[in-house]
A and B are shown apart, each in its own frame.
Chain A
Amino acid sequence: MNTKTPSRLEKILTSGNLAVTSECGPPRGSDGEVITKKAEMIKDYVDAINITDNQTSVTRLCSLAACIRLKLMGLEPILQMVTRDRNRIALQSDILGAASFDIFNILCLSGDHQKFGDCPQGQNVFDIDSMQLIQTVRHMRDEGKFLGGDAIERPPRMFVGAAANPFADPFEIRVRRLAKKVAAGVEFIQTQCIYNLDKFEVYMKQAGDRGLHEKVYILAGVTPFKSAGMAKYMKNRVPGMDVPDEVVARMSGVPKEKQPEEGIDICVESIQRLKELEGVRGFHIMAIEWEEMVPEIVKRAGLYPRPKIE
């Protein structure tokens, strides 16, 4: 097994197992128990847990502190880090801070524009973009150097991930964009929520044609709908989201009290279909404020028990 970091996620992927990750959103307050409770619910059903970084630009408890809590529980955090709020000094500094707690996974993102959050009048930073953050982490890890060129004592050992949205426009460059992230040094990808499986299959075929399946581990992103209303909202209101009409119709076609169950069914069926797809190396289950359903999804999708790897 040829791994570059002590990351458990990397070990699972390189050993050929399908990986399962999920995410926890930190609270809008300082009660760290919120994180540990969410993590307790899912910990036996996933290999690693993403902690979001002020997602949708709404101010929350910071990703790094929440990741440290997971680490102290003996779990495997994936530190999400956006370039919206920090310049290259702060990013490198936080990477070192995370590395000092042996956080071995990072997800490099640009971050939603602050317009969507609770501080729309704030500045954004965007000193570097997500691809350049990938390059930064790889540089720090592999060269053992800061961007400024000085040597790092005990460089970070992080498995480097990024997001990919196969459904945003323009579709024709989505695979090229993935290839660019691979060229920047990304090692695993968690995709945007997949509802349009036909389109995702085209994307994966194109990625395979470029040989990207061999160069990066792609975890397919799934999010169960809690209700028909949520499906409609995701379809119409969330930028870069592709929810086909038939999926909305399926959710709307069942009585309200049965909709959560239908949402879980759709999610499980999606995973089962995606499992067969070449290049899909695992799943990223984003059960937004519905973490308690992750165990059921993982079990029903045939992804339980999780492999024991140390």
Chain B
Amino acid sequence: MIVAERKPIEEIMGFVRDFKKIIIAGCNECVTVCYAGGKKEVEILASALSMAFMKEGKELEIKEVTLERQCDPEYLEELRGFIYDYDAVVSLACGVGVQFLAEKYLKIPVFPGVNTLFMGVTEEKGVWSERCQGCGQCILGQTAGICPISRCAKRLLNGPCGGSTKGKCEINPELDCAWQLIIDRLKELGRLDDYDTLIPIKDWSTERAGGPRKLVREDLQQ
């Protein structure tokens, strides 16, 4: 999923201070699962904003709405009937949702209510960590199912570097060394000899380096 965390209330207050009526739009997908922008977080943010502004003697009308997804046009259509009755939208979706909402409704300012962090997993309740950077050419088959691009601080394709200490990365003693994990897993699988193969220079053109990416499936387009 895409993992995000809510922006500080002060920052969001800064966005909406000059408006009288706003919409806070949540999203029922990833940001719900990581407790950053689902229905519950929409309610919490709405109360927090109302209270904070009330203390300043200012009234803010807030409409709460949580869409199934903000990255699909059909769900964004649900806002069509009332969105322009408001002055601004704070979207608690990831950066994708915020942009798509803004793209569909050009005449109203849309502000992000979360910081979008990474594509990752729920390690345990309240703990998420990164697993993928969407490089566009998956090499997990060569690295025992552990991605050095997203999990090694230097994204080394032929690691580990000299800073790997007791299984941890030199930049943070809490962070596992991805290459230690790869080697441990290769051993577990009886495939440590796979380590001896040099991974060639990567073609990064399918990654961000190649410019904004787009996928077209003609078989699905009608």
Contacts and interface: CB of A to CB of B under 8 A. Distances in A.
Interface of A: 84, 88, 110-113, 115-116, 124, 126-132, 135-136, 147, 163, 165, 168-170, 172-173, 176-177, 179-180, 183-184, 192, 239-240
B196 A179 contact: yes
Contacts of B53: none
Most buried by B among A136, A163, A165: A165
Contact of A170 (B155, B158, B164): B164
B26 interface: no
A18 B170 CA distance: 33
B92 to A, nearest CB: 27
A88 B158 contact: no
B198 A115 contact: no
A183 B158 CA distance: 12
B165 A169 contact: yes
25 contacts: A115-B171, A128-B201, A128-B202, A129-B156, A129-B157, A129-B159, A132-B157, A132-B200, A135-B198, A168-B160, A168-B161, A168-B164, A170-B160, A170-B180, A170-B184, A173-B160, A173-B195, A176-B196, A180-B196, A183-B198, A239-B162, A239-B163, A239-B170, A240-B163, A240-B170
Contacts of A136: 201
Contact of B162 (A84, A115, A192): A192
A126 B153 CA distance: 10
Interface residues of B, number: 29
B201 A135 contact: yes
A236 B164 CA distance: 14
Nearest to A183: B198
A124 B167 CA distance: 22
Contacts of A111: 154
Contacts of A128: 201-202
Contacts of A165: 162
B109 to A, nearest CB: 29
Given A126-B156, A170-B180, A113 B163 contact: yes
A129 B153 contact: no
A176 B155 CA distance: 20
